[in-house]
Chain A
Amino acid sequence: GESVGLHLPTLSVQEGDNSIINCAYSNSASDYFIWYKQESGKGPQFIIDIRSNMDKRQGQRVTVLLNKTVKHLSLQIAATQPGDSAVYFCAEGGGGNKLTFGTGTQLKVEL
């Protein structure tokens, strides 16, 4: 049977290195994109968002890049820390503030 979604893509990085998490979105009409962080046993936590009229936005230790030509989104985390270990989801926003979430990427920070 299909097992899509049971095996999250995993990114392992060393503490202090930079992390890059990628996401492909499907709807070319989406005009708002968000990254959420979800730690085990908790709800998703907002990290950063970007509107479609931008291609880059920076926050504290995080940068989101948007490439509308290839419908690709990335989240860069500078100087990754153990507390950054979590599952990261990208979401695309449509009409009425409806969000469509991607599958997620598991980030593991090795000491």
Chain B
Amino acid sequence: EAGVAQSPRYKIIEKRQSVAFWCNPISGHATLYWYQQILGQGPKLLIQFQNNGVVDDSQLPKDRFSAERLKGVDSTLKIQPAKLEDSAVYLCASSGGQGRRETQYFGPGTRLLVL
């Protein structure tokens, strides 16, 4: 079974530029998550989708971050404009459902460096 796919793997941009990340979850997984992982810290949830609807985006900085999952499968996360503090690894995860105790499977992440 193929895992969670993410692209690009690495991205370097200058502050105030925009950037987009793409995620393809495990086939059949209804729930998709985007996390931000700053160096030396654990992942922090940014947004959670159930199919194509948003379940939780309470920690998403909505003035600059946006995410969508239009057809309930692939998802994109966008940052516009980027700030230096956005340098981090952006992880996508998926799970089979939204129920409690559903195992989340992570992709390899996109490493973003903002200069």
Q: Do A and B bind each other?
A: yes
B interface, by DSSP: helix, strand, loop or mixed?
A: loop
| Given pairs A6-B40, A43-B107, A100-B45, 5 additional interface contacts (CB within 8 A) | A96-B48, A97-B100, A98-B45, A101-B43, A103-B42
A7 to B39, CA, bound (A): 10
Q: Is the CB of B42 within 8 A of A43?
A: no
Chain B residues within an 8 Å CB radius of A6: 39-40
Q: Is the CB of A43 within 8 A of B109?
A: yes
Q: Is the CB of B41 within 8 A of A103?
A: yes
Please, how many residues of chain A have a CB less than 8 angstroms from a CB on the other chain?
Answer: 29
Interface residues of A (CB under 8 A from B): 5-8, 31-32, 34, 36, 41-46, 49, 51, 89, 91, 93, 95-104
Q: Is the CB of B44 within 8 A of A46?
A: no
Chain B residues within an 8 Å CB radius of A89: 42-43
A44-B91, A46-B105 known; A99-B40 Cβ under 8 A: no
Q: Which of A43, A51, A97 contacts B102 (CB 8 A)?
A: A97
B79 contacts the other chain (CB 8 A): no
Q: Is the CB of A95 within 8 A of B42?
A: no
Q: Which of A8, A34, A98 contacts B48 (CB 8 A)?
A: A98
